[in-house]
Structure 1
Amino acid sequence: MIDELLPSPVGTGSTFVDYDAALTALYPQEAAAVASARPKRRQEYANVRMCARRAMGELGVPPAPVLSGGRGEPLWPDGIVGSMTHCPGFRAAAMARSSAFLGLGIDAEPNLPLAEDLLEFIALPQERARVEALMRSSPGVCWDRLLFSAKEAVFKVWFPLAERGLDFTQADIRIDPGSGTFSARLLVPGPTADGGRVEGFDGRWLSRQGILLTAIALRRTTGR
């Protein structure tokens, strides 16, 4: 499904099923990183990296370990940008060459309401009002959870570019229910990249098989 939200030539891999073989396929340094983790966490970690290796194959990139940085962000091979996500019942990875894209951000969430009071924590007043209106008009999608997912996708693009955090309330997100798109307007100065300052992001979303997916692909506009 994630491939439907991303342009060519982004490589993707995804799975709805956890495979035990993914654990034995981990590189030694990856296996060491989760050696003391709970079995559920080790399965998530291994299977999302299996997806990453599939994405590498689509790009024609040799398979390589994907370790994590200080904030849990994936550390990609040189010349690659990418993103990974996992939620109950779904794992996915996406990657592209940094010569074509400044960054990627993908996120998957169950199509279930957020925990009580979490919307107030993650959303601006105007975002809450828009979400509440969508909940009344189109109740088949948990719009509060979709907003959360879009904010996660924004952070995953933002962090490698800015090398600093971004609070939930530092980007104003508008979801278009008809087109399957969303936009994020940054409320703080964005990073300078590709010859200019990044002021926001445009993304796409879908709801299928009980999963909400969001994706952002930030293309380069100048050669590199």
Structure 2
Amino acid sequence: MKLDGKRLSALFPAAVVAEEAQPALLLDELYPEERAQIARAVDKRRAEYATVRVLARKAIRRLGVAAAPIVNGEDRSPAWPEGVVGSITHTKGYCGVVAAKSSDVRSLGADVEGAEAAREEIWKHICTETEHAWITGLAEDDRGQVVKRIFSAKEAFYKAQYPLTRQYLGFHDVEMQLDLDGGHFEVQLQRDSGEFATGARFEGRVVVGDGLVISALTIE
């Protein structure tokens, strides 16, 4: 699996840059305030945290913005430099970052998950009644993997909307339609969230390959 950012960036507008890598314990490349945030973390968490910060700075430099610490706020979301929006994601063996100038896009959401099927006992936690009814109409062998795509797509939307609304949403607070062949999805809010009213719709992309589900959503 080649990690050059191209697969991730292909899911976003041209103004968005992407970086990918396998997690590594790059502690020497962190700012002191970043190292302090993971001082008591296990090595897996430290490697993921460090790698996405290194990737984020590479992306930011590509935008022509000076590198800076990217620490988590009290809500655990990363604080991007002034004039930059971005999203980070990581799963087993993978870290990814997307970033753009805030003058080009309002917010970004990226999510990557392992492509293994979601366990049936959690389907109703992830899916609304309408989504669950649709899932049960699919071929039995496909259902768990489609639920995983729904999970990832919703996560990408949550990440994109949060910097604009500062609202936490549950899995049933949005409902989505998924184009399994074309890799597109549409999310519809089932409740108000900040500036976005019930019924607001957002479009994104979700693809599967190399054992990963990758979802992307841009709010422009």
* Aligned 8 A contact 1:191 1:197 in 2: no
How many residue pairs were aligned?
214
1:147: how far off? Answer: 0.7
**Partner residue, 1:148:** 151
Identity of aligned residues (%): 33
1:167: how far off? Answer: 1.3
Please say if 1:124 is aligned against 2:128: yes
1:138: how far off? Answer: 7.6
1:13: how far off? Answer: 0.8
* Aligned 8 A contact 2:71 2:78 in 1: yes
**Partner residue, 2:174:** 171
Instruction: Compare 52-61 and 138-147 and name the one that shifted more.
Output: 138-147
**Partner residue, 1:6:** 12
**Distance of 2:32 and 2:165 partners within structure 1:** 30
1:190: how far off? Answer: 3.7
- Cα RMSD (Å): 2.1
**Partner residue, 1:182:** 185
**Partner residue, 2:162:** 159
The TM-score normalised by the length of structure 2 is 0.90
**Distance of 1:176 and 1:137 partners within structure 2:** 18
One-letter amino acid matched to 2:23 = D
1:24: how far off? Answer: 1.2
Instruction: Provide, for residues 73-115 of structure 1, a one-character-per-residue CA deviation record: whole Å limited to 9, x for no partner.
Output: 1111111111100001211011111112111000000001223
SS at match of 2:188: strand
* Aligned 8 A contact 1:108 1:213 in 2: yes
**Distance of 2:118 and 2:34 partners within structure 1:** 31
Mark the runs of 5 or more structure 1 residues left unpaired by the alignment.
220-224
SS at match of 2:10: helix
1:19: how far off? Answer: 2.9
SS at match of 1:104: strand
* Aligned 8 A contact 1:12 1:58 in 2: no
One-letter amino acid matched to 2:142 = P
**Distance of 2:103 and 2:140 partners within structure 1:** 42
